[in-house]
Chains A and B, each alone.
Chain A
Amino acid sequence: QKEVEQDPGPLSVPEGAIVSLNCTYSNSAFQYFMWYRQYSRKGPELLMYTYSSGNKEDGRFTAQVDKSSKYISLFIRDSQPSDSATYLCAIGDYKLSFGAGTTVTVRA
């Protein structure tokens, strides 16, 4: 069993829709939860960072962590074509375990 499971998609939504992404993980000791965004042929960039359980909001982006279910989510509101990218969840401490990444396309 992989430490982090993420549905690779792909996911295609119309502009303005809410995008919902999620990951599950197996190691209950994990405390740090991140979402990275990766544009085509580029390196990943940190999008959201959460420590322990709860919600975190940054503009159109909301990250949720449910440690009891070992489940994390990323929501993108009012999605834009510029949000088209691959989104990777990352969980761990000094050694991050990454999900496979979900490729999102926002259609204009």
Chain B
Amino acid sequence: NAGVTQTPKFRVLKTGQSMTLLCAQDMNHEYMYWYRQDPGMGLRLIHYSVGEGTTAKGEVPDGYNVSRLKKQNFLLGLESAAPSQTSVYFCASTRQGNTEAFFGQGTRLTVV
């Protein structure tokens, strides 16, 4: 049972480039989330999804887009990367809203 898997684990982008981060969960969870973690800031919610085909904005959504075409996958896109998006990105899933969140191992993104 893999749990929550994030791809890629590391990436370096140049300013203005685009990329997609993939999150896959094999626990049949309804809810999925994308967070970013920066020193001293904790985890901040970017976007989330409460089910297949639905997405919603979190605390810091600007510069990001998401899609949940399949229940098990949640994609995070950066259309035009900026140095301010240098961060560690975590995907998480929960069976329902107020239950334990399972996190992936993170994606370390550097934008130069």
* A residues in contact (CB < 8 Å) with B: 4, 6, 8, 31-32, 34, 36, 41-46, 49, 88, 90, 93-96, 98-101
Question: How many residues of chain B are within 8 Å of chain A by beta carbon?
Answer: 24
Whole-angstrom CA separation of A96 from B90 in the bound complex: 14
Q: A-facing mask of B36-57, CB < 8 A → 1, else 0?
A: 0000111111001010000000
Which of B97, B100, B106 contacts A43, CB < 8 Å? B106
Which of B42, B48, B50, B106 contacts A100, CB < 8 Å? B42
A43 touches B42 (CB 8 A): no
Q: Which of B46-81 contact A (CB under 8 A)?
A: 48, 50, 58
Q: A-facing mask of B75-112, CB < 8 A → 1, else 0?
A: 00000000000000010101011101101111000000
Is B34's beta carbon under 8 Å from chain A? no
Q: Which of B11-35 contact A (CB under 8 A)?
A: 31, 35
User: If A49-B100, A93-B98, A95-B58 touch, does A44 touch B90 (CB 8 Å cutoff)?
Assistant: yes
Contacts of A88 in B (CB 8 A): 42-43
A100 touches B100 (CB 8 A): no
